[in-house]
Amino acid sequence: MNNKVAPIFVTIGRVLLALYFLLPGVMKFISWDMHVALMQKHSMVMIPVLLTAAGVFQIAAAFALILNRYTGLVSLLLAGLVLVINFSLHDFWNFSGVEGAHEMQNFVKNLGILAGLLVLAGHSGSQSDIEQR
């Protein structure tokens, strides 16, 4: 690939991943009751604490990615969050029919997001965030 366009693609991918977390992070506060109901449906505990922590973290992490700060660390932390969300909220094995298919689709989609975060973490680990700019 042309060395001049590769950094542009990495930047676009990084910002798109950031938006993937920024918008849901904001929505956790705008649609609080909906998110609480979803977490209750999946028998989660400490819902207000976890929901607040997830929303604040997603927003802060998204801004860090947009600004290309601590990209490797933030990508790995977001990857961990995706794994937790996948196994606690997209537990397709506990559902059947359309609901099970929907949860499986979200689970697999999140594996793609996880892959992107791991690639971004690996890329940023090869050089400092400042050198990337």
Helix (H/G/I), strand (E/B), else coil: 44: coil
Distance in angstroms (rounded) separating the CA atoms of residues 75 and 21: 11
Distance in angstroms (rounded) separating the CA atoms of residues 96 and 82: 22
Longest dimension (CA), the chain: 49
Q: Which residue has the tokens 């689970």?
A: 107
Distance in angstroms (rounded) separating the CA atoms of residues 14 and 117: 9
Note if the pTM is more than 0.85.
yes
**Pair of tokens at residue 11:** 């930047």
**Pair of tokens at residue 23:** 């918008």
Q: What is the pLDDT along the chain (133 residues), one digit of tens a residue?
A: 678 888 999 999 999 999 999 999 999 999 999 999 999 998 999 999 999 999 999 999 999 999 999 999 999 999 999 999 999 999 999 999 999 999 999 999 999 999 999 999 998 865 544 444 4
